[in-house]
Amino acid sequence: MNTIVISTDCLSEAAKLIQQGETVVFPTETVYGLGADAFNPDGVLKIFQAKNRPADNPLIVHVSSLSMIEEVSSDFNETAKTIASHFMPGPITLVLKKSDCICDAVSAGLSTVGVRFPKHPVAQELITKSGTPIAAPSANISGSVSATTFSDVYRDLNGRVAGIVQGDDCEFGIESTVLDVTGDTPVILRPGSVTLEMLQAVIPTTRLHPSLVAGTKVEKPASPGMKYTHYSPKAEVFLVTGEMNNIISHFENHLKDSECLFLFLEEYDSFSKNKMCLGTKSDLNQMAHLIFRLLKQADLDGYQTIYIPAVAEEGVGLSVMNRLKKSSGGKVLSL
């Protein structure tokens, strides 16, 4: 397929493709999205084909106003409205009862739909110009690492979609928080940059789905997408635990040429070998912003193994660790 690269000042061209039932990749504040008209089943099917996405993994529907939520959901309830008034537009997806105009391909046959109102001006303008909600999962081949820069998304999807909007690097760098607001209390199905703590400050009863609580065994994944292998670079990934001094001295002696260590700014200069910087450990939003970019860079650089220091599972650290536990397949090196 011939893929057109579209600049952010020519979004009418991208909107035309959406209206014609084609796929367009566009930047958002979380990761790049791979979109099509949410009301066009043929267009939606092309998303699944471009990504090799399993059909039972529902898509998030992107809107450009709160009033548009009423078009895609039959029950934009009071809890949802409260959350929306605090966090929308922004990096959060609300799971709501779907309206009849959401087809089975989008919802994967569920009675609910994930709805997101992105903050990114390019995403907003594209949705408005298209005149329709846009269904969009992360713009990557299923199972691999989500793209957060134009060059990464171009490398992954050129030839597989009709258009790619050339935007800047994504601000948050990890996918949206997915919050189920169909029940009595809000439940986080996927942690993101809107954290449990931020949500509890607004609705104190907000909780994590049991599958996200360490040590809890559950039969069902939090949401269909959470059961798949995900966020995997070609390289093998290990999470590393232990005192930073021990980690540094271990790898000074043992890191091979084909291996790379991710480090925080605070230790970065004290290590002399193959390394990439995760930003400061005092603000894990920097790690979230960088992590997918660095995993992809490590693959491009030909590393076969990546070691990443584990962080405390609180705040955005919970969200980053959620991704990295999947990237690593749960492999941990304790030093």
Interface contacts to Mg ion, rule CB under 5 A: 138
CB-nearer residue toward ligand AMP: 188 or 311: 188
Q: Choose the contact partner of 178 out of ligand AMP, Mg ion, none; CB within 5 to 8 A by kind.
A: ligand AMP
CB-nearer residue toward Mg ion: 47 or 240: 47
Cβ atoms of 136 and 58 closer than 8 Å: no
Q: Choose the contact partner of 259 out of Mg ion, ligand AMP, none; CB within 5 to 8 A by kind.
A: none
CB of 61 to ligand AMP, least distance (A): 8
Q: Coil, strand or helix: which one is 104? A: helix
CB of 139 to Mg ion, least distance (A): 9
Count of alpha carbons within 13 Å of 277, Cβ hemisphere only?
Answer: 10
CB of 225 to Mg ion, least distance (A): 7
Buried b (16+ CB within 10 A) or exposed e, 170-203: bbbbbbbbbbbbbeeebbbbbbbbbbbebbeeeb
Q: Choose the contact partner of 84 out of ligand AMP, Mg ion, none; CB within 5 to 8 A by kind.
A: none
CB of 138 to Mg ion, least distance (A): 3
Catalog residues that contact ligand AMP under the rule CB under 6 A.
57-58, 60, 95, 107, 110, 112-114, 137-138, 175, 178, 189-190, 223-226
> How far apart (Å, rounded) are the C-alpha atoms in residues 237 and 306?
5
CB-nearer residue toward ligand AMP: 144 or 274: 144
CB-nearer residue toward ligand AMP: 201 or 218: 218
Cβ atoms of 171 and 289 closer than 8 Å: yes
CB-nearer residue toward Mg ion: 138 or 274: 138
Structure tokens at 36: 């099509």
Residue type, 326: K
φ and ψ at residue 32, rounded to 5 degrees: -70, 145
Q: Choose the contact partner of 110 out of Mg ion, ligand AMP, none; CB within 5 to 8 A by kind.
A: ligand AMP
Q: Choose the contact partner of 95 out of Mg ion, ligand AMP, none; CB within 5 to 8 A by kind.
A: ligand AMP
Q: Which residue is nearest to ligand AMP (CB)?
A: 225
- One DSSP character per residue, 193-222 reads SS-HHHHHHHSTT-EE-GGGSTT---SS-S
CB-nearer residue toward ligand AMP: 178 or 306: 178
CB-nearer residue toward Mg ion: 30 or 79: 30
Q: Which residue is nearest to Mg ion (CB)?
A: 138
Q: Coil, strand or helix: which one is 131? A: coil
Closest by CA to 176, choosing from 57, 33, 52, is: 33
CB of 185 to ligand AMP, least distance (A): 16
Buried b (16+ CB within 10 A) or exposed e, 3-27: beebebeebeebbbbbeebbbbbbb
